[in-house]
Structure formats: C-alpha cells, structure tokens
Structure 1
Amino acid sequence: MSFQPSPKKANPSPKPKRRASSWSDFWVKNTHAKPLNPVIFTMQLPPLSSKDPDNPKAQTFFSNFSKIDRTLLLPDEVLLNILARLPDSQRLSNFLVCKRWLNIQGRLVRSLKVLDWGFIESGRLIVRFPNLTHVDLSRSCVVSPRNSGILLHHGSISMHLNTGFSPIYRILEENLLSVEVIDRGLKMLANGCPNLCKLVVVGASEYGLLSVAEECLTLQELELHKCNDNILRGIAGCRNLQILKLVGSVDGFYASWVTDIGLTILAQGCRRLVRLDLSGCEGSFDGIKAIGQCCQMLEELTLCDHRMDGGWLAGLSYCENLKTLRFQSCRTIDSSPGPDEFLGLCPALERLHLQKCHLRDKNSVRAMFMVCHAVRDIVVQDCWGLENDIFSLASSCRRVKCLSLEGCSLLTTEGLEPVILSWKELQSLRVISCKSIKDNEVSPALSTLFSVLKELKWRPDTKSLLAASLAGSGMGRRGGKFFKRT
C-alpha cells in the first residue's frame, strides 16, 4: 500500500495594491472633461510596436489600431495650425496623405500660378484653394500646343509654338482666349476669392476688371498685359490699388495702345498708386502730368520700351514725391525734350536706373540729367552709346553718393575720372565689365578717391590687377570714419 503525497496548494496571488489617484483619473471621471478623454486615451496607449506574444487579443488590438489615423482626433483648425508651421519643403507633399489633408493643405495656399483656364471655369480653383491672395493667370490665358518642344518666353508670358514655321507676326493674339471667356473667369475668381491682393491677367476687358474691382476691395497689385485705354476704365474702381504694371504693345506678341486718354483715366481713378510700370505704352507730357498731379503718393516709376512723344520728360516735374526712376530697353529717352526752362526737376528723386537703353542722343541724355538733378544713386547697366561726352553730362548731378557702371564698353578712364572727382559726396563706386577702363590709367587723384570711399568694387575687365591689389588693404572701407553711415 503506497501513499502519494497530496498536491501542493498553489500560493494565492497577492492582493493588488490600490494605485494612488492621479490627475488623469480625476479628469477622466469628471463629466465636464469629456472632450479630453480621446486625448488622454491616446497619451496612455503603449507604443504600437509593443506586442505581447502570450496575448493574441493584444496583437489583434494593436494591428487594428495601427490602421487608425490618429489625426482624426484633432479638429481641422488645430491640424491647419500644425501644418502651417511646417517649412515649405515639407508642406508641399502633405496633400498626398489623404483627402482631408488635401482640403486642409489647399486652405494654406496663398499664391498660385494657373496653367489651365478650365481649372477656373469648372469651379475647382475656388473649392481647392479658397484663401488665395496672389493669382497669376498669364499662362492660362494663352492656348498653346502641349506636345511642342518650342517654348517662347517674354517676361512673365510663356507659350509653346508649333514646330512648323508660322508667318504670323503677332503670335500671342492668334492663341489668346476670347475676351468673353477671360471676363467670365475673372468674375468667378472675384466671387470666390474676395481677399485677392495681386492679380496678373492677359487680354481682359473693362467688364472683367470691374467685377474684380467691385468684389476684391483689398486688391493692391495688378499686372495687365495687352492693355489699352478702354481696359483702364475698369481699374479706375480699384481704389486701394498701390502697384500697377501696364503692358501695351510687345513686338512679335501683340499690339495694344495706351495713350494719354488711358493715363488720365488711370490717374483720376487710382490716386493711391505707389509704384507704376509702363511697358510698351504711348503717351506724352499731358499723360505724365496727370499722373503726377493726381497720384501724389507715387514713389517709383518704370518705363520699359516706351513710345512716348517728344517733350514728355517735362511732365516728371509734377511727380513731387518720386524717388526712383527706371528706364529699361528704351530706344530713346526723349526724342525732343524742348527748352531747358520748361523741363523742371524732380526734387525728391534719389535713384536713377538705366538698363539696356540707347544713350546716343546727347540732347535727350542731357535733359534726363537735368530733370534728375537731385539724384543720389545712378545705376547704368548694359547701355549702348555711353561714351565720354555723354557721361560727362552726369556731372550736373552734384549730390551723387553711389555710382554703378556695368557693361559700358565705350567709357574710358579719361571720361570717368573728371565726373566722379566732381562729386564731393561720392561714397560708393562700382565698375564692372567696362573694358575700355584700364588700371594703368588710374591717376593719383583717382587713387586718393578710392582710399576714402566706403565701398569700392573695381573689376573693369578680367585682366584688372587693381582689384587683387586692393584685397586686404582696407581701401574702400576707410571712408567709414569720415562719412556717417545712413
């Protein structure tokens, strides 16, 4: 008879200790803290990568929970604020996450260049990007073949051309959308984006621009291509317009005319203009005078490839607050400036910029420097005909502090020296790619001037040795103790 020992009783599991209450328990149990329950629940979850091999239910729970989008717990405004703080390099790919992120990302877009006009007419532009403030329609206004490898570019307008030769002189006019289509799209854009601040459009009419002026009261910057006098009747309603660019005729693209009539309409309607760009526009003394008298806040005027009548320079004297005057790609400054006593001057002018202009007419250049008598900064870049006699006319501007010359191949050291030595307030000199100016022609008086300048950049040609010898010598910076920096 054998005896078997009775099985040993298992030790009872210890009684779990009561966990001390915490602030999280208090908020979860509190009925007033229901909105915080999802947030606290998410914070208390273990990491998704942790799995319990002995508990298959836990594996199922984590595998299902990994498919849940945790951002669904955040309201749209919170997620919008988070995405807005991301850098641009990371923000662009957020719309690929899901449809919700696609819609939220569209609300962050403020500036857009439209390439397809159908995107506007379908209404998708307004739904996709409801908060647009800057819209460029210049590319979408032109119908061009997509499969062409020839791209024609001029300024902000680009279009593809057919591979075959086309005898059409005005290429853009033949490929531009109809005025009715453009006006209809502008009306839809104005109704959907009332906070529009900047607009670029080609070939619109006064009716389309009137709808923009009525709905977009905050419009401050406008760029019109293929502009004429009738179109300017529409922008007269843009009371808060501050920056305006008008492009009339462009050789090879389109022909359109802005005359004194349009400039007068513009001056009377847009009295808050601060910057005005006239490209390919006609006009005369009367139009410039009207702008100067009505737009008293105008500080910057740019004329590109202008077709102004003779004597228009005298109208600049009415722009009493003009600070910057730019000439770009102008065949002439003023073909017939008239008597000197009628020219006047711009008392507040500070900067004169000349870029890719013809400066062969001595009377025209002399009249320009007389009007710009009070100028402080003169910039001449890639201008034709600027020889010694023409540049000597700049000595009438006695208050010049900064001179920049680039690409002036006809100007020599003999013509440069007497002019800059006559400017007693000169503080900065920049000479780049002026091959007729030589180092061995620099006189002791010119070297002395170099030593007291605040800023000196001397590279007239690739063989210049003076620039290398000035490096580390401090020349060009010693004037800091003689001139007060402003």
Structure 2
Amino acid sequence: MRSSSISNSNSNSISPRSEPDVTLTLDANYISNSVTPDFSSLLSDQILIFILSNFNKSQLISSSLVCKRWLKISSGLIKSLKLLDWDFLESGRLCYRFPNLIDVDIVQACIISPRNSGICLSNKFVSVHVNSFVPDTEFIWKPDFLSARVIDRGVQILARACCNLRKLVLFGATNEGLDAIANECLALQELELCSCTDFDLKGLAGFRNLQILKIIGYVDGLYDSVISDIGLTILAQGCPRLLKLELVGCEGSYDGIKAIGQCCQMLEELTFCDHRLEGGWLAALSYCTNLKTLKFQSCKFIDPSPGPDEHLGSCPTLEDLHLVRCQLRDKQGLGALFIVCEAVRELVFEDCWGLDNNSFGAASICRRVMSLYLEGCSLLTMDGFEPVVLSWKELKRLKVVSCNNIKDSAMTPELATLFSVLKELKWRPDSKSILSSGLDGTGVWQNGGRSFKI
C-alpha cells in the first residue's frame, strides 16, 4: 500500500522505470524485519490428514520433523511398525507416539545384540547384529534373548495401549502375555508366534476373532523351541475359527494334524514349512474337510512312512497344491500326497529338487488339474512331462520356466495341439527355447484371443 501511494503521489516527478526499484527496496526491508509465516497453519487438521495420508511410511517419518503438529498427525497415520528398541515400548513412548497402530512386530527388539556392530547375521525370519569376537569354546554362535518375564510385561503394556491391533508378531511370549492380548485386543485377526512352547499355546483359547495363525517352532541357528502333538491339540481346541494356519519347524504326528482337522472345521489354507512330522501324518489331512489350499515350503521330506494307500483318504475340496523349494527324493511320500490331493485343480512345483520323470508321473492320478506351473525342475524331461500333461483333459493354463531338460526338439504334434487350445501358456523351459520355430506348421498361432508368453 505504501509503495502504491508513493508512486501515485509522485507520478509527475518519478519516472516509471524507478517504480520497480522502490518496490524491491520496500519488500526487502519487510522480509528482513519479519518472520516467515507458517502457511500450513491455514489448513485444517482434516485437510492436512488427507494430504499426509497419501505419503508412504518413509515420507511420513520425514514429514514428522516439520513441527509438533505435523509430528502428531503423521504419527497417527502410521498403522504398522517393527519395534527395534525394547525400551521404547516399556517407557510407553511407542503407544504415545503411534496411537493408531494395527500391525506390530516385536521380534527384533526381543533379541539382545550390539547396536554398533557392523556384522549382521540374517535368515528368512530376522536380522541380528553380532560381535566380531566369538569365544573359542563356542563353535556355533546363538544370540541372547530377553527373559519371558520382561517380554510378557512389555506385551501387557502394548495390549492396554493398542487395543485396536489387527496383526501381531510375538517372540517368547508365555501364556500370561497371550492372555493379556486376548483380553484387550478383541479385534485381533492375525497372530504370529515365535519361540513358544506347547503349554504357552493355552493362551490362544481367549482369542475370539483369530483367523490367521503362524507358529514358528524350531529355527536352525536361532532357537530350538519344540511344538509337538500336545501343542497342536491345544492350538486346535483353542482356535476353532481359524481360516489359515502355517506351521514352521513344528514336530508332531497323525494325532496333532487330526485334531486340527476335527476342531478347525473352517480351515481353508494349511502351510507346512520345514516340518518335522513323524511318518504316517499324511492320512490325517482327510479330516480337513474344507481345505482349499495346501502348501509345502522348504521341506526335506513329505511323509517318510505314509502307510497303505487305502488308508490315506482324500481332501475332496482341495483346489491348490504348492510345493516350493522342497526335496522330493522320497517317491513314496510324494505319491501318497498326490493320492490325498486327488481332487486338486492347480499344481505348482517351484525349485523342487528330486522331481524326475517317475515322481512327476504319479501326478497323473490328479485328473482334474486345470493349471500347472513348473519352475526350476531340472531333472524332468519331455518323456515324463508330456504323458502327464496330455492325460489332463481339463488343463487350461500351463507355465514352464527354467526346466532345462524339457527341450523344444522333443515336442510332438499332440503336445503342440494341446498348446493351441490353452487359455494361457508361458513356455520358457530354458534360455535357448524358441517355441515359434518348433511349432511351425502346427497352426498354434492361428487361434485368436489366446494369451501366449514366449
């Protein structure tokens, strides 16, 4: 306003060229004598929440450094968290800083490790910093953990402050800690338990809405807790509404799996990872009457002694069977698995060692297969692959990747004809595969509307 009045009053004496110089001088004086305003204060909390809700987690953490208001709003938008410092939980700062958490993982904070170490020991579950010095008497180093009493106390603090939890990953919690979670976090739907014992699982009986459960028993090089038939039976009786169950490094036998099938009648997905189940357990899968998906991951065997075929039974509702990074040298156990999974609609073999022509031929009993995915099965050849695939009259989807002994040169006209009617085909058995030249004259490319990935 002052700049305008000066230019108007002296319009006859001051040339137009001098007006910008006067304005610039006045603006510079104004800026130097004032504080830069906070324009974000003009935004309401609702608008600022809407803006920050579009940030990812790392951006939210950066935005919390702007001011106390942004700190409070951005912290309230963070829903999931992996705890690294146990004192941050026990002091109450975790729940005060992040009041709206629904997904918490405390495993890393339960492991006592040096913070300043540059050596990191990692496996598929956790990463642990270790000292460079290992005593000569210790051939295999194992980390130290917080005591069960300390862990239960921290879990109780977490349960009281974050009662809206939907997913929780616990380490070393006992029956007392699980009871606190069950009583306070009524909406909890997904739970993962590491390093627990059979009788610790009694605390699962208080969970009303638990649908997804993962039990991690023995972990090589980290801890060696045991989950046996006793724990599997307690689990089955305490969680009748389970939809998904994953057992990692768990022991047990026919009785434990049978209890799960009889009590958890809503169970739809069952996963075994590096299991240590005794021989004969496979027949208990027939009690899982609503099972739709069965997965095996990193298993050294399926069933060392499955028993007579007539006693195995079957899972009539099973749709998907996945075997990932498993050793399939035991032909008897794999054949028994195919008998139990006779009604399967989708078969997946990924990086499985020992799957050869004979073992894959046993899969021909599964006559309702509509989808097959093979990857990293180097022992399988066209002689074992083609008869099984041609026997599946309902096959619609086929993916073959990195199976080096399945050659284009061994392809027959019958297999080429099958390719022409598939809804989806991905054919990359090796780096030298050239399907187009191998199918010249077969008419496989003449059908439109198909999905081919070569």
| TM-score strictly above 0.5 | yes
Out of 77, 81, 89, the position equivalent to 1:112 is 81
1:18-167 equivalence runs, <5 A? 53=23, 67-86=36-55, 90-165=59-134
Match of 1:27 in 2: none
Whether contact under 8 Å (1:304, 1:327) holds in the other structure is yes
Please give the secondary structure, in 1, of the residue aligned with 2:206: coil
- Distance apart, 1:248 and its partner CA: 0.5
Match of 1:391 in 2: 360
Identify the residue that residue 203 of structure 1 maps to in structure 2: 172
Give aligned pairs, total.
431
How many Å separate the matches in 1 of 2:225 and 2:358? 37
The answer to whether the 8 A contact 2:228-2:256 is kept is yes
What's the TM-score, normalizing by structure 1?
0.82
After superposition, the Cα gap between the structure-2 partners of 1:387 and 1:424, relative to the gap in structure 1 and judged at 3 Å, is: same
Deviation at 1:77, TM superposition (A): 4.5
Q: Which has the higher Rg, Structure 1 or Structure 2?
A: 1
Aligned partner of 1:249 in structure 2 is 218
Aligned to 1:9: none
| 1:313-332 matched pairs, under 5 angstroms | 313-332=282-301
Q: Could you tell me how far apart the structure 1 residues matched to 2:309 and 2:155 are?
A: 47
Give the superposition deviation at 1:87. 6.0
- Kept in 1, the 8 Å contact 2:416–2:439? The answer is no
Cα separation, partners in 2 of 1:182 and 1:365, compared to 1, 3 Å: same
Distance in 2 separating the partners of 1:169 and 1:450: 55
- 2:6 is matched with none
Q: Distance in 2 between matches of 1:295 and 1:448?
A: 44
Separation in 1 of the partners of 2:446 and 2:42? 60
CA shift for structure 1 position 478: 4.0
Change (3 A) 1:67 1:194: same
CA distance in 2 between counterparts of 1:171 and 1:275 reads: 34
Aligned to 2:206: 237
Q: Note the C-alpha offset of 1:93.
A: 2.2
* Secondary structure at 2:230 match in 1: helix
- Who is 2:244 aligned against? 275
Residue 445 of structure 1, aligned match among 398, 404, 414 = 414
Percent identical residues: 59
Gaps of 5+ in 1: 1-12, 14-49, 482-486
Mean CA deviation greater in 444-453 or 418-427: 444-453
Write out per-residue CA displacement over residues 356-400 of structure 1, whole angstroms, 9 at most, x where no aligned residue.
112111211111000000001100111121111111100000000
| Structure 2: stretches of 5+ with no match in the other structure | 1-8, 10-19
Correspondence 1:302-451 to 2 at 5 A? 302-451=271-420
SS of alignment partner, residue 164 of structure 2: coil
Q: Give 1:60 shift.
A: 7.4
- The verdict on how the C-alpha distance between 1:413 and 1:196 changes in structure 2, with shifts beyond 3 A counting, is same
Give the secondary-structure state (helix, strand or coil) at the position aligned to 1:236. helix
Query: Which digits, 9 at most, give the CA deviation of each residue in 1:139-158, with x for residues without a partner?
Result: 11111122222211122311
Check conservation: 2:416, 2:444, Cα contact below 8 A. no
Say which SS state the counterpart of residue 389 (structure 2) adopts. helix
Distance 1:426 1:476, change over 3 A: farther
User: In the TM superposition, what whole-angstrom CA distance separates every residue of 1:21-75 from its partner, at most 9, and x where no partner exists?
Assistant: xxxxxxxxxxxxxxxxxxxxxxxxxxxxx9984997x987776775332443555
Q: Tell me the equivalent position of 2:262.
A: 293
Trace 1:173-184 onto structure 2 (pairs within 5 A).
Answer: 174-184=143-153
| CA gap 1:82/1:286 in 2 versus in 1, 3 angstroms | same
Q: Is the 8 A contact 1:170 1:253 kept in 2?
A: no
In structure 1, what is the equivalent of residue 190 of structure 2? 221
Amino acid at match of 1:67: T
Offset at 1:333?
0.5
RMSD of aligned Cα (Å): 2.7
Cα distance per residue 1:207-250 (max 9 Å; x no partner): 11111111000111111111221221112211111111101011
Once structures 1 and 2 are overlaid, which stretch shifts more, 183-192 or 91-100?
91-100
| Equivalent residues of 2:408, 2:438 under 8 A apart | no
Q: Secondary structure at the match of 1:96?
A: coil
Compare 85-94 and 141-150 and name the one that shifted more.
85-94
